[in-house]
Homo-oligomer: A and B are copies of this chain.
Amino acid sequence: MKRVKVSNNVIRRLPRYLRKLDELHENGTNRISSFELGQQLGLTPSQIRQDFSCFGEFGQQGYGYNVAVLREQIAGILGMDRGYKAILVGAGNIGHALMDNFSFAECGVQLVAAFDIKENLIGTVFKGVPILAESQMEEYLKTNDIAIAVLCVPKEVAVNVTKVLTGNGVEAIWNFTNIELTEPNSPIIVENVHFSDSLLSLSYFVSERMDEHTSQNTKTGK
């Protein structure tokens, strides 16, 4: 696929479009205008047309988008049809919760193995995924084409585990460890899931709201 450089904000909206299109498809909607789609997502129609124009022409003027076709196109842009293989490192609480609840397959990703150091986990199979000893990981990476590692290990070992992963062909880390793994100009792709960043942003918005109330009440003498 020929690619132009697309802004991060556009890339971040693609999965949201996909979720909405899935929902529309399930509800039996075959066609939608950029106006309607925008209303449902809280975006302007021109924003939506501009986002899609980064990847070519998807709709037809005055006719709207074919939901199923647009869904396939966005899935393709996101690489969901490429069958990336992933391993999970650290099958403790959050790792376990991901294996149990999260559908990697729905994202087009194949979770092929998990690694841990706990004796009672090693050799077991959870939801079809074998849990292997972390000591076997390097060998495993050398003989399997793994694009993505889901990192759920304790903070203290995160950097060392990352070195093993990236030194053995892993392209990208889905990082649940709450530490920054990327050095500036590093070639590793890191996608951080920082729960605390998310909760703190929420805390900011709550505080902003409360301060607005306070200042309004002060003005009106409440």
Residues of A in contact with B (beta carbons under 8 Å apart): 1-3, 11-12, 14-16, 18-20, 39, 41-42, 77-80, 82, 84, 93-94, 96-98, 100-104, 106-109, 147-148, 171-172, 174, 178, 180, 182, 184-185, 189, 191, 193-212, 215
Contacts and interface: CB of A to CB of B under 8 A. Distances in A.
Contact of A78 (B16, B100, B203): B203
A101 B107 contact: no
Contacts of A174: 198-199, 202
Contacts of A191: 198-199, 201-202, 205
Contacts of A77: 204, 207
Given A19-B180, A198-B193, A171 B206 contact: yes
A211 B209 CA distance: 44
Contact of A101 (B94, B202, B203): B94
Main secondary structure of the interface of A (DSSP, over half): helix
B78 A204 contact: yes
Contacts of A39: 184
Contacts of A209: 171, 189
A209 B172 CA distance: 10
A129 B20 CA distance: 35
Given A104-B199, A196-B15, A206 B172 contact: yes
A1 to B, nearest CB: 6
B109 A203 contact: yes
Given A39-B184, A82-B210, 5 more contacts: A1-B211, A79-B207, A103-B196, A174-B198, A174-B199
B148 A206 contact: yes
